[in-house]
Amino acid sequence: MTPKEVLALCREKGVKAVDLRFMDFPGLWQHFTIPVDKLTEEVFEEGLGFDGSSIRGWQAINESDMLVVPQPDTAIIDPFCKLPTLSMICNIQDPVTREDYTRDPRNVARKAVNYLKSTGIADTCYIGPEIEFFIFDDVRFEQTPNAGYYHIDSIEGQWNRGRRESPNLGYKLRYKEGYFPVPPSDQMMDIRNEMMQLMIECGIDLEAQHHEVGTAGQSEIDMRFDHLVNMADKVMWYKYIIKNVARKHGKTVTCMPKPIFGDNGSGMHTHISLWKGEEPLFAGSGYAGVSQMAIYAIGGLLKHAPALCAFCNPTTNSYKRLVPGFEAPVNLAYSQRNRSAAVRIPMYSPNPKSKRLEYRCPDPSCNPYLAFAALLMAVIDGIQNKIDPGPPLDKDIYDLEPEELEHVPKTPGSLGEALQALRKDHEFLVRGDVFTPDVIDTWIWYKTTNEVEQVQLRPHPYEFCLYYDI
């Protein structure tokens, strides 16, 4: 869509307001809104000013002025605003130099794609994430000097079997049994259908929706793969839609990786493939029907997995999910079909065009622009340096004997460990100026100061269970 076509769409749909959206550093959409008559063709070239010092991880107060530059090909009529509103995703620029801002996550993703093309390896990277999330009925949480707690609830929750609901109809999903009984046990069917339909109306190509393994409304809606930057844009629309549909029904959605103790967390298994022209480069005659290039790509993913966790599993809560026993891939190995491996080669179809790698470590708390860019850079490094991942591991990793398992590398045990891994291993990310040293340093600083240290400082409720009577 061109600027002229966007303006024509506004007239056709009776648009009254234009919402301009961009990504902050950690990974939340930010926005401001202008009257539709302030959107001109010049705005698409010149941008609009805003205060970048108020955005997490961005500018200092003495250099706060920034520009948002709307991208016409991202224009969508917002499905939730009462006033007819058109929303567009924006790139961020420095108003003095007019250069794209290095800490704009979308810019990092765009640079990763351009770097791929410059290597001559491929011209397209397709990404297909499987995003899991929970739909809850109620959530309360607080942290004060003398109190700290959370409480979540769901009509489906196993813990509500004995609750007086006048009447309690008894359809509560047992832990790890949410995949996937029909209604009435699955009580989120209509909400997921509404989410699915709105996504389709917003131009997102979907494949399926279903209940996930966890009790208490764990869900998944699967998008068809797309180009890397487009898919990161779609992930943001995905989150926006599921949260607002849930709110409409008096419910709440979270992409927090591990909100419930003792049940499965929410992951974001991410499918990756490289193409050159019309040729799928990961298809071949080797193990599991993949090419040697794909094997080297696996080597890059596994070698850099600890550092990748800093972007793909970027919260302290992420490491409550990355533990044995809940289908999370804590062991860094690869396999065909085996879902306990960090890298899986799906075997659904013999069609070479469907051949891809599934990297199972990421979770939906990540900033998709940074996570997808980092994964692509690891894949490129594996291919360029012919990194051998070793033999596949086709056994059930969780059933391995301890002496056999100790030789399988593991994901980091905490966000702090992942950030330390990133500090030691980021040369592959800064190639082609994709992730600048400033981006790496700021990410480590922000996450350490605002998340790792803040969680470490506070007593945990379970510590009272363990130690109060000492």
Catalytic residues: 51, 130, 132, 212, 220, 269, 339, 358, 360
What residues contact 314, with CB distance under 8 A and at least 6 apart?
A: 26, 27, 365, 366, 367, 371, 415, 418, 447
CB 342 within 8 A of CB 361: yes
Please name the amino acid found at residue 143.
Q
Picking from 73, 180, 195, the residue whose alpha carbon sits closest to that of residue 135 is: 195
Range 72-94 burial, b when 16+ CB lie within 10 A, else e: bebbbbbbebeeebbbbbbbbbb
Please name the amino acid found at residue 246.
A
- 168 CA to centre of own chain: 36
Distance in angstroms (rounded) separating the CA atoms of residues 353 and 349: 9
| Phi, then psi, of 286 in degrees rounded to 5 | -85, -160
What residues contact 256, with CB distance under 8 A and at least 6 apart?
A: 134, 266, 315, 317, 365
Token pair belonging to 248:
């409409």
Reported as type and span, the H/E element at residue 257 is: none
Picking from 381, 392, 393, the residue whose alpha carbon sits closest to that of residue 304 is: 381
What angle is formed at CA 187 by the lines to CA 186 and CA 192, rounded to 5 degrees?
A: 90
**Phi-psi category of residue 38: left, alpha or beta, with phi > 0 → left and psi -120 to 50 → alpha:** alpha
CB 150 within 8 A of CB 140: yes
Please name the amino acid found at residue 206.
L
| DSSP structure string for 175-230 | TT--S-PPTTT-TTHHHHHHHHHHHHHTT--EEEEEE-SSTTTEEEEEEPPEEHHH
